Amino acid sequence: MKGLARINVVLTWLAVAMFVGCSGGGGGGGSGADSSSGASAGSGTSSGSGSSGSGSGSTSGSTSGSTSGSTSGSTSGSTTGSTSGTGTSGSGTTTGSGTGTGSTTGSGSGSAATPVDVATYHNDIGRTGQQLAETQLTLANVNATTFGKLGFDTVDGKVDAEPLYLAKVTVGGAVHNVLYVATEADSVYAFDADSGTQLWKVSTIGSGETTSDDMGCFQITPQIGITSTPVIDRTRGPNGAIYVVAMTKDSSGGYHHRIHALDITTGAELFGGPTEVAATYPGSGPYSNNGQVTFNPSQYAERQSLLLLNGQIYTGWTSHCDNGQYNGWVIAYNASTLKQSSVLNLTPNGTEGSIWMSGAGMASDGQSIYFLDANGTFDTTLNSSGNPTAGDYGNSFIKLNTASGLAVGDYFAMSNTAAESQADEDLGSGGALVLPDLADSGGTVHHLSLGAGKDAIIYVVNRDSMGKFSSSGNNIYQQINGQLGGPEFGMPAYFNNTVYFGAIGDSIKAFSLANAQLASTPVSHTPGTFGAPGSTPSISANGSSNGILWAVENGTIAVLHAYNAANLASEIYNSNQAANARDQVGQGNKFITPMIANGKVYVGTATGVAVFGLLSGS
């Protein structure tokens, strides 16, 4: 581990290191932009630069979170495509959730609504975290009298991945809303999302193998199985596919990473899978021979959430506690065949530079990929294009081109990037968010992305010209210092022209957007603070109304909080309010992102998923 000086936070760095881990490598147990342009749901403008969203207004029928056109904008009706952006509109009606049966306590009957899929981390490929088709949960009924814990779906290991949700899936001849849960025991579960009944369970462990041990690192412990949030594509295979990356250990002590595509209705392997993760890349870095660097599976974990973009599954790789030597790898697989389609090493002639982002996922505008890379080698000697001469991009805000295979298309690096890497104050603990297109006061449209890391600085980049590196100062669209009260170990959310950050030891803070600029000070903040590892918020709303910010406070017993998204000073619910521990979440787990779908809120824990919703009769 590197030195921990120079981050001025409310918590001491010793406490932070004990809980979240200070390394630029993998974080422990436990990511299109929004589907609207500006504040209105279902507008036709996508958040990506380039092609526009494929739909506008309301649509008939249900909208699938796993389907979209070529951008991260909203998707109309049953339109299908190759990315995992989330549609938000739909005028079709369904019956309420009914009375639940099975392993969880049933929910009350909900109002008629069209359920919307949550098929990727933080709702869409822009990683906005907003679910804009929530008609059941409102500012009026989310309180300890009418809202609470409905039940608990027990599983066989830690739930570090965000649970995912699909509406109206036919399983065993019956139609279900389905909750998908992946565990560190290398299992994938499908539950009826309304009753809690287990529909199927599969193990991704190979014959004669076990889950991986924790590699002597406290960050993902006591076992490593499926750590990253899967991604779902309803258009693949006979019924749709859920993609997961699983780590195992064989009887000879060898380690394996495999990408699986499972049928969403049965859990059966698809496309001849799984595929063993293996890669080489030109370079002289760790595990290199004859000018080729080799991916060593024992050195890596797939912590960041999977990205589905234009028919490709993108994986990103991190280390175990900065132990040993490693690089930053991005490896892509064809979603229809599971064959490897592209490989990129971000520090091929250096070391480190991993991708983990506290479990957030690489983001996209529908064409390119954006993420924050962790501490590692950055070549401050640049070529005529302003790029590092040896191709080493450690501790940078990176844009990847994907049209002709993976390649760095642009980047931003701080003027003190090398010093930050040396002090372990890098960007890599935070996730990137792709904002919708924003116009300035003169009407010029800007394509922006933002994020923050361990230095507690908010960086806003122009996706069309990110700024590259200069030793004399930061060439960046906008930079906000001194407003986050601690390092960011997670990612922000976006809703209604507002960005929400939940840093360590800090309150969750709301920063407004106006004229394509992020406010330099927050417009509201939560009454209380969140200890390590902070919080990654999620938003539920019905279009631009009834916006609720949801956040999990970690601890021996985790706490689910709900706030008025328009004024975070107003906490409308938390799971400690009801008498007799009625709503207790269970044992906390770091980097947990709450997921909202069809009137319910799902929270991963160390032993399963807590399910919250409107109480019977409310």
Torsion angle of C-alpha atoms 406, 408, 410, 414, degrees rounded to 10: 140
Which amino acid, one-letter code, is at 456? A
Joined tokens for residue 1: 């581990």
Hey, how many other C-beta atoms are within 10 angstroms of the C-beta on 95? Answer: 10
6-19 residue pLDDT tens: 333 333 333 444 33
Report pLDDT for 113.
59
| Mean confidence (pLDDT) of the chain | 86
Angle made by CA atoms 396, 401, 407, in degrees to the nearest 5: 70
Q: Where in the sequence is the domain holding 293, given as residue range(s)?
A: 13-87+102-614
The answer for residues whose C-beta is within 8 angstroms of residue 350's C-beta and 6 or more apart is 285, 327, 376, 377, 378, 379, 390, 392, 394
Provide the β-strand partners of residue 510. 500, 524
Task: Please state, for a pLDDT cut of 70, what percent of the chain lies above it.
Answer: 82
Are residues 582 and 148 in contact, defined by beta-carbon separation less than 8 angstroms? Answer: yes
Average pLDDT over residues 358-367: 98
**Is residue 410 one of the residues assigned to a domain?**
yes
To which residue do tokens 């107003």 refer?
A: 570
CA-derived radius of gyration, the chain: 22
57-89 residue pLDDT tens: 333 333 333 333 333 333 333 333 333 333 333
The mean-pLDDT minimum among 17-26, 180-189, 289-298, 581-590 falls in 17-26
The β-bridge relationship of strands 210-213 and 241-249 is antiparallel
**Is residue 219 one of the residues assigned to a domain?**
yes
**Is residue 294 one of the residues assigned to a domain?**
yes
Question: Has residue 295 got a pLDDT over 60?
Answer: yes
217-254 residue pLDDT tens: 988 989 999 999 999 999 999 999 999 999 999 999 99
CA distance linking residue 566 with residue 549, whole number of Å: 9
Between 470 and 108, the higher pLDDT residue: 470
**Is residue 97 one of the residues assigned to a domain?**
no
C-alpha to C-alpha distances, 587 to 158, 359, 557, nearest whole angstrom: 10, 19, 5
Report pLDDT for 563.
99
To which residue do tokens 């080729």 refer?
A: 292
553-570 residue pLDDT tens: 999 999 999 999 999 999
Question: Has residue 92 got a pLDDT over 80?
Answer: no
Question: Has residue 355 got a pLDDT over 90?
Answer: yes
CA distance linking residue 498 with residue 384, whole number of Å: 38
Average pLDDT over residues 34-51: 34
Question: Has residue 114 got a pLDDT over 90?
Answer: no
**Is residue 458 one of the residues assigned to a domain?**
yes
User: Count of domains in the chain?
Assistant: 1
Are residues 588 and 557 in contact, defined by beta-carbon separation less than 8 angstroms? Answer: yes
Strands lying side by side in the sheet with 363-364: 363-364, 369-372, 397-401, 407-412
To which residue do tokens 């039940």 refer?
A: 151
**Is residue 5 one of the residues assigned to a domain?**
no
CA distance linking residue 450 with residue 117, whole number of Å: 25
What is the CATH classification number for the domain harbouring 236? 2.130.10.10
123-149 residue pLDDT tens: 999 999 999 999 999 999 999 999 999
**Is residue 453 one of the residues assigned to a domain?**
yes
Hey, how many other C-beta atoms are within 10 angstroms of the C-beta on 339? Answer: 11
Report pLDDT for 219.
86
Between 445 and 104, the higher pLDDT residue: 445
Between 115 and 118, the higher pLDDT residue: 118
Between 45 and 22, the higher pLDDT residue: 22
**Is residue 6 one of the residues assigned to a domain?**
no
Provide the β-strand partners of residue 331. 315, 343
Are residues 158 and 183 in contact, defined by beta-carbon separation less than 8 angstroms? Answer: yes
